[in-house]
Amino acid sequence: MAQEETDYVLAQLVELVNRSDMEFSVTVASNGLMITGTLVSNQTWFDRQADLIRAGSGMQDDEVGLHTIFEGWRDRNREATAEDKQVEDALKDIELPHRFQQAIDETAQQAGYIHLAKARYVVQQGFVPAEGMLWRGRLDAITGWSVGELRAGKP
């Protein structure tokens, strides 16, 4: 089986969203399914996931539970993003030889996952779940995508 390729345009949009507060609607195809929702940053996704788990468990902010795992992942991700930004800023005005710049580009942390809020699976009967959910998928498993959210049309 051939190695899956990630669409570089989608990957760049995910990187843009991960580095900003930008959000917009997308529809993706993955493993034969269509998913429609709002593209959000990994930070936003982890925050909302932790909030949902905390609210569902009735735990307080200072209590340890499953939500603290998501908060830990969020915090580690935030630190890595800040470190990447520091390196980018430090190298911004430095003209590096091509081989060094290429090595940096090849080892740069690339987004491997796409995060959606208010995500719904598109099924023959409509959308499931109707109210949407948080969804995370591998970028290399996305076989097609478009900007915009699918909505029920008039019969």
Longest dimension (CA), the chain: 60
Whole-number average pLDDT of the chain:
83
Torsion of CA 70, 84, 6, 18, to 10 degrees: 50
Cα–Cα separations (whole angstroms), residue 154 to 25, 61, 75, 93, 117 = 20, 44, 44, 55, 25
Pairing of strands 126-138, 142-147: unpaired
Q: What is the pLDDT of residue 95?
A: 79
Q: Is 39 helix (H, G, I), strand (E, B) or coil?
A: strand
- pLDDT > 70? residue 77: yes
Q: What is the pLDDT of residues 30-50, one digit of tens each?
A: 999 999 999 999 989 988 988
Backbone angles phi, psi at 18, to 5 degrees: -65, -25
Mean pLDDT of 85-94: 72
Q: What is the pLDDT of residue 147?
A: 96
Q: What is the pLDDT of residue 120?
A: 97
pLDDT grade for 2, boundaries at 50, 70 and 90:
very low
Mean pLDDT of 52-78: 72
* Listed range (56-60, 75-79, 91-95) with the worst mean pLDDT: 56-60
Compute the distance between CA of residue 13 and CA of residue 54 in angstroms, rounded to an integer.
Answer: 30
Compute the distance between CA of residue 18 and CA of residue 145 in angstroms, rounded to an integer.
Answer: 18
Model's pTM, two decimal places?
0.74
Q: Is 43 helix (H, G, I), strand (E, B) or coil?
A: helix
